Amino acid sequence: MNEKDMGTDLEKVLISKEEIDLKLAELAAEIDRDYAGKDLLIVGVLKGAVMVMADLARALSSDVTMDWMAVSSYGAGTKSSGVVRILKDLDTDIAGRDVLIVEDIIDSGLTLSWLLSNLSSRGPASLRVCTLLRKPEAAKVDIDVTYIGFDIPNEFVVGYGLDYAEKYRNLPFVGTLAPHVYGG
């Protein structure tokens, strides 16, 4: 799907596919450097992080292993409920492993804060976070994030994995929705 096919649903493109590709290449180079000689496990948080995981993993030169977790903190709407449920747990035992959580977005930070405490209780050798997007103005908790793609304004965004009511995940860019779409 491209920008034209979005019709009147899209308000604006915030981050283009080209900007995302460039940023992921930079982040991948940093990660390659930081984990040289290590056996890195990257953990994608479903569903939103699918695109970031796929593109980041292919931009890395090092061999990594990949695993997935699905958690739910949002209902059908656009606000975090703060209540996190595991919908799918890791297949990997992460005790003693170097683990990098890969997220599409940190908004309130509630999901990640919960995930960090859950995964750190499993005894990884190291645990860090990489996110494509972060909304500093929306933060409800302070989180130490090692790899950040873009800090963005406090607006609801879709595309590149991010949905509204399960739609728009397949847009190759990140954009904002027209207020009439979500009743904003």
Ligand X SMILES: O=P(O)(O)OC[C@H]1O[C@H](OP(=O)(O)OP(=O)(O)O)[C@H](O)[C@@H]1O
Ligand Y SMILES: Nc1nc2[nH]cnc2c(=O)[nH]1
By annotation, the residues acting in catalysis are 107
Shortest Å, Cβ 157 to ligand Y:
4
Please tell me the distance from the alpha carbon of residue 150 to that of residue 141, in angstroms, as a whole number. Answer: 18
**8 A C-beta contact, residue 127 and residue 134:** no
Query: Applying CB under 6 A, does 67 fall inside the site for ligand Y?
Result: no
> Does the CA dihedral 18-22-25-31 come out positive or negative?
negative
Residue 164's binding partner out of ligand X, ligand Y, none, with CB under 5 to 8 Å set by partner kind? ligand Y
Residue 158's binding partner out of ligand X, ligand Y, none, with CB under 5 to 8 Å set by partner kind? ligand Y
From the list 43-51, 91-99, 148-156, 176-184, the region that binds ligand X by CB under 6 A is 43-51
Calculate ∠ Cα 124-24-155, nearest 5°: 95
The residue whose two tokens read 């009439």 is: 180
Q: Which is nearer to ligand Y, 32 or 182 (CB)?
A: 182
Query: Applying CB under 6 A, does 68 fall inside the site for ligand Y?
Result: no
Please tell me the distance from the alpha carbon of residue 142 to that of residue 6, in angstroms, as a whole number. Answer: 35
Residue 72's binding partner out of ligand Y, ligand X, none, with CB under 5 to 8 Å set by partner kind? ligand X
**8 A C-beta contact, residue 9 and residue 163:** no
Instruction: Give the closest residue to 179 by CA, choosing from 43, 3, 6, 8.
Output: 8
- Binding to ligand Y (CB under 6 A) within 132-171 occurs at 156-158, 162-164
Residues that bind ligand X (CB under 6 A): 45-48, 72-74, 80, 103-112, 163
Residues that bind ligand Y (CB under 6 A): 74, 105, 107, 156-158, 162-164
